Amino acid sequence: MKSITVTIHDKEGLHARPAGILNKAAKGFACTTTMTKEGKDADIKRIFAIMGLKIKCGDELTITCDGADEDAAIAEIGKIFETL
Q: How many helices (H) and strands (E) does the chain have?
A: 3, 4
Question: 9 an active-site residue?
Answer: no
Q: Are 68 and 30 in contact (CB under 8 A)?
A: yes
Pick the catalytic residue from 15, 24, 27, 40: 15
The continuous run of DSSP H or E covering 20 comes out as: helix 16-26
List residues with catalytic annotation.
15
